[in-house]
C-alpha cells in the first residue's frame, strides 16, 4: 500500500507550484517597474553606454526569470504558499529608501539631505537590507557590504563610466583639481575591498579558534 502523499503530490489543480507562480509574478512586476523607472534615461550604444542601458537589460533579465518561474508554477510540482512576516519586505523597502536619499541630495520639505555617494549609500543599504532575516550577523553584513560596494564602484564608475555619484559632495569639492576622479575611485574601491577581505580572514580565524575537534577531545578524555 502506498504511503501518504505530500501536499505537492496531492495537488491536482491548474497551479501546481503556487510559491513559484507568485514569485514569478513578483519578478515580472519588478522588471516592468525597472523598465518604467529607467525609461527617461538614455540607452546609448555599446561603444558609449548610457545610464539607461544596463537597467533596461537587467530589467529584461528579471522579467525572463519571472516568466520562467511562473511557467514552472503550472508545469512542475512545488511548495504551496507559506505564511510570512512583514519584517522582510519592510526592511528591504527601508534599505532602498535609505539608498535613494543618501546617494544624492534629496529635498524633503525645507531640508535637503547631503549627497553621500555610493561609497556610503551602498554599504548602508546592504547592512540594513541584510536584517530582513533573523539570521543576519553584523560582521558578515559589513564584509559583504564592503566587497559589493567596491565591485559596484569599479563596474559602474570605472568600467562603464556611468554618471553615478561615488563620493560625498564635500569630498568631491575638497579634492577637485588635486586627484583625478578615476584615480580616487580606484584607490577608494581598493581600500574597501582590502578591508573587506581582511575582515573576512579575521572572522574565519576566530571561527576556527572557536571550533572544537570532537574526535581529539574524546581521545584526551
Q: pLDDT over 90 for what percent of the chain?
A: 43
**Contacts of 97 by beta carbon, 8 Å cutoff, 6+ apart:** none
What sign results for the dihedral spanned by CA atoms 99, 101, 102, 104?
Answer: positive
Band (203; pLDDT cuts 50, 70, 90): confident
Task: State the pLDDT at residue 220.
Answer: 54
Three-state secondary structure of 68-100: HHHHHHHHCCCCCCCCCCCHHHHHHHHHHHHHH
Give the distance from CA 206 to its chain's centroid.
27
Greater model confidence, 141 or 10: 141
- The residue written with cell numbers 559589493 in the block is 148
Assign 3-state DSSP to the chain and report helix, strand, coil percentages, each to 5: 65, 5, 30
Query: What size, in residues, is the chain?
Result: 221
Average pLDDT of the segment spanning 173-186: 85
Q: Which of 48-62, 136-150, 180-194, 201-215 has the lowest mean pLDDT?
A: 201-215
Band (11; pLDDT cuts 50, 70, 90): low
Average pLDDT of the segment spanning 2-11: 47
pLDDT digits (tens, 9 = 90+) for 23-68: 999 999 999 998 988 888 788 777 777 778 888 889 999 999 999 9
Query: What letter does residue 105 receive in the DSSP assignment?
Result: -
Question: Exposed, middle or buried by CB within 10 Å (0-12, 13-18, 19+), for 172?
Answer: middle
pTM: 0.70
Q: Which of 6-15, 125-134, 135-144, 196-205 has the lowest mean pLDDT?
A: 6-15
pLDDT digits (tens, 9 = 90+) for 94-140: 999 999 899 988 888 788 888 899 999 999 999 999 999 888 899 99
Band (8; pLDDT cuts 50, 70, 90): very low
Q: Which helix (H) or strand (E) holds 112?
A: strand 111-113
Amino acid at each position: 500500500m502506498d504511503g501518504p502523499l505530500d501536499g505537492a503530490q496531492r495537488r491536482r489543480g491548474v497551479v501546481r507550484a503556487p510559491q513559484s507562480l507568485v514569485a514569478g509574478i513578483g519578478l515580472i512586476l519588478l522588471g516592468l517597474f525597472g523598465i518604467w523607472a529607467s525609461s527617461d534615461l538614455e540607452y546609448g550604444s555599446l561603444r558609449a553606454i548610457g545610464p539607461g542601458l544596463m537597467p533596461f537589460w537587467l530589467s529584461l533579465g528579471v522579467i525572463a526569470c519571472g516568466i520562467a518561474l511562473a511557467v514552472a508554477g503550472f508545469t512542475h510540482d512545488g511548495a504551496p504558499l507559506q505564511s510570512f512576516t512583514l519584517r522582510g519586505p519592510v526592511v528591504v523597502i527601508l534599505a532602498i529608501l535609505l539608498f535613494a536619499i543618501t546617494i544624492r541630495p534629496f529635498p524633503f520639505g525645507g531640508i535637503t539631505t547631503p549627497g553621500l555617494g555610493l561609497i556610503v549609500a551602498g554599504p548602508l543599504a546592504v547592512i540594513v537590507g541584510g536584517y530582513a532575516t533573523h539570521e543576519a550577523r553584523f560582521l558578515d553584513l559589513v564584509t559583504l557590504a564592503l566587497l559589493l560596494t567596491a565591485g559596484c564602484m569599479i563596474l559602474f564608475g570605472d568600467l562603464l563610466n556611468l554618471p553615478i555619484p561615488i563620493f560625498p559632495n564635500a569630498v568631491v569639492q575638497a579634492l577637485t583639481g588635486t586627484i583625478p576622479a578615476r584615480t580616487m575611485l580606484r584607490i577608494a574601491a581598493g581600500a574597501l575591498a582590502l578591508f573587506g577581505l581582511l575582515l573576512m580572514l579575521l572572522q574565519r580565524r576566530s571561527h576556527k579558534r572557536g571550533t572544537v575537534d570532537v574526535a581529539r577531545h574524546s581521545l584526551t578524555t
